[in-house]
Amino acid sequence: MDRVLSVTIAVAGIALSSCSRIAEHAFAQPTIGVRSVKLKSVGLSGGSIELALAIANPNPYPLAVQHAVYSFALRDSTEVGHGESPVAFTVPAHDSTVVALPVDVSWQGLRAAARDASRDGTVDYVLKGSVTLETPIGNPNIPFQTSGRFTPPPSLVRSLN
């Protein structure tokens, strides 16, 4: 009886270990790019911008995102702001979607971005954070990082320089 139990536990352990490795290899990282940046509000301590992110899901299943936390920085690591997704969203299988995410920004971060844009009209950025996915086998936190370049509205750049 003990031997049967030991063999059963060993087989279950191997099966679970294999499933975990298969799940890791079955997940392909989505691609994320900033489509646009809009100034939403300005206050005494900073403001709020809205990032429109284009997210492409290469996986054969939809990605249900429960929650996202992220920071938005310049290429030189100067933090412009940070935020959290206000609502859950889903990226369809083998498809893409545009998601609007709020970012609370500081005056220092806005001015640094405007200085960056005053050179050639563009801002080099790094967006990083993590998303909590809703899956049948749990809710893993998946880190992400993407970088690129966007063109802020010229009126915003002029007002901050």
Average pLDDT for runs of 10 along the chain of length 161:
45 46 66 84 88 91 93 93 93 95 92 89 91 86 88 75 71
Number of structural domains the chain divides into: 1
Return the pLDDT at 3: 54
* Residue 125 covered by a domain: yes
Q: Is residue 9 part of a domain?
A: no
For residue 98, the model assigns a pLDDT of 95
**Could you tell me the two tokens for 47?**
């403001």
Residue 16: the pLDDT is 46
Query: How many C-beta atoms surround the C-beta of residue 134 within 10 A?
Result: 15
Residue 71 lies in a domain: yes
**Would residue 10 count as lying in a domain?**
no
H helices present in 34-161, as ranges = 107-120, 154-160
CATH number of the domain that residue 151 is part of = 2.60.40.1820
Report the pLDDT value the prediction gives residue 126, as an integer from 0 to 100: 93
* pLDDT for the residue numbered 18: 44
| 99 domain-assigned | yes
The model's pTM: 0.72
Residue 55 lies in a domain: yes
156 domain residue, yes or no:
yes
Within a domain: 17: no
pLDDT value for 74: 94
**How many CB atoms sit inside 10 A of residue 11's CB?**
10
Range of the domain at 111: 28-160
pLDDT of residue 25: 53
